[in-house]
Amino acid sequence: MHKEILIIDDNPDIRSLVSKILAEQNFSIRTAANYDQALFEINKKLPDLAIIDIKLDKTDKDGIDLLKIISEKDKLIPVIMISGHATVQIAVEATRLGAYEFIEKPFNKEKILNYVARAIEAFELKREKNIIENKLFHSFELIGKSPSMIKVKKIIDKLSSSESRVLISGPTGSGKELVARKIHKNSTRSKEPFIIINAALLKESTYEKELFGEEFEDGNISFGALERANKGTLLIDEVSEIPFETQANVLRVLIDQKFKRLNGSRDIHVNIRLISSTSKNIKNLVDEKKFREDLYHRLNVMPIELFPLSSRTEDIPLLINYFREKLSEINGVQEPKIDFNNDNLYTYNWPGNVRELRNLVERITILSADETKSNINKLIEDILNPTSSTLSSKNLLEKSFLSPLKEARKHFEREYLTTQLKKNHGNISKTADFIGMERSALHRKLKELGIKGIN
């Protein structure tokens, strides 16, 4: 399908020239000769790209107003502004309001084609990124019935009517970004931008540019994360990585809700909801004078703590069931037959947390959708314990064979009961039911073997 371009200019020669140039490249063309015609065409159907002259027939309305209307309807649609007598101030204003490019008249064929091609390419990339993010955003939910997850869900519900800043802490892969997205989705800002900046991935010299943006001598502007998140939500991932000197500037933005771009002279006012996340203990960093205490208190208005997957193993079956259903649908394959009683799922430490479990389920979904449970169990063992599972069993056997019968039995019972307790998240009653033992007898056996409470 050909891309559709709307050309808005009160000069018939310009409209004809640009239309001819673009039609030769197989674009579909619509034109408007004045403000009212342009408004009619925009309301009738949004184009894939608009080329708008700044000066039109109305004295109180111009191309900038049309740019605003298109941006309000769909921020992704690229708009190229053209003018023969615009000032640098107008060009800067057009760029600030979302214009993809500003071209001065007269312009040649190569320039207009170059700008259009780049704008269409940028549009496609943004649209594709938006589709992928929305798919992930709406597809995956917070899954879990463990006490810690129930608590997190309740906090998110309470935050739906609040504008409070949130600090999400938890190990890598525990779902911090997903929690932030859910908070944004449930808030009154849900239709506004959700912008992420990962402080751990930035070079020390680029933090302020990425946050505040930059102005250049030729009038071009690089918009920072704060400005792009205006009216919406900004997630600063791994906020503890922001350099100490930059932290003071972030604090000032939170207090004043305004800032200056690098090399800029005027204040940029913003209205954002800030969510921060960290895999480190920021309170310890404050005590070590590596993180500003005043900024910490500003960020930590509503704390949310996510726990490692190894401490909430009762959620593993729910997560596996959820991921295999979703991932089978996405990949267009049959759901794999995963055995929820596989000990490896509960004794493994899950250093990558929920993300690692999701990756495991996706791998099984793609590779072993038609396999039997026993084959999938073997695959899980090979993935999670490529060498240690075999060695562990071998070591246990060797230890048993080298011990008297009474000691060998103790080795086995200790390993077996520890595994079953972990599978049942330390619940004595559930473990006793599963192994067919009286609860009181299990208590005595655990005491005899020196096995303490398992979390």
- Per-residue pLDDT in tens (0 to 9) along the chain, 455 residues: 578 999 999 999 999 999 999 999 999 999 999 999 999 999 888 999 999 998 888 777 888 889 989 988 888 899 999 987 766 777 778 888 888 888 888 888 888 999 999 898 888 877 776 665 555 544 568 899 999 999 999 999 999 889 999 999 999 999 999 999 999 999 999 989 999 999 988 887 888 999 999 888 767 778 899 999 999 999 999 999 999 999 999 999 999 989 999 998 889 999 999 999 999 999 999 999 999 999 999 999 999 999 999 999 999 999 999 998 888 877 778 888 888 888 889 988 899 999 999 989 988 887 776 677 788 888 888 888 765 444 444 454 555 544 565 566 666 677 777 777 777 777 888 888 777 778 887 888 888 888 876 65
Residues of the chain with CATH 1.10.10: 390-449
- The DSSP call for residue 75 is T
Residues of the chain with CATH 1.10.8.60: 312-386
Q: Look up tokens 């999400």; give the residue.
A: 168
Q: How many helices (H) and strands (E) does the chain have?
A: 20, 14
E strands, 343-429, are none
What fold does the segment set 390-449 form as a domain? Arc Repressor Mutant, subunit A (1.10.10)
Residues of the chain with CATH 3.40.50.2300: 4-131
The residues, any chain, with a CB within 8 Å of residue 402's CB and separated by 6 or more, are none
By CB atoms closer than 10 A (0-12, 13-18, 19+), residue 182 is buried
Tokens representing 26 are 């197989």
pTM for the whole thing? 0.60
Rounded Cα gap, residues 409 and 403, in angstroms: 9
Rounded Cα gap, residues 304 and 327, in angstroms: 28
What fold does the segment set 312-386 form as a domain? Helicase, Ruva Protein; domain 3 (1.10.8)
CATH top-level class of 4-131: alpha beta
Helix (H) or strand (E) holding 7: strand 4-8
Q: Does the structural domain 164-306 have CATH classification 3.40.50.300?
A: yes
Rounded Cα gap, residues 244 and 241, in angstroms: 9
CA quadruple 325, 330, 334, 338: dihedral, nearest 10: -40
Strand partners, 31: 7
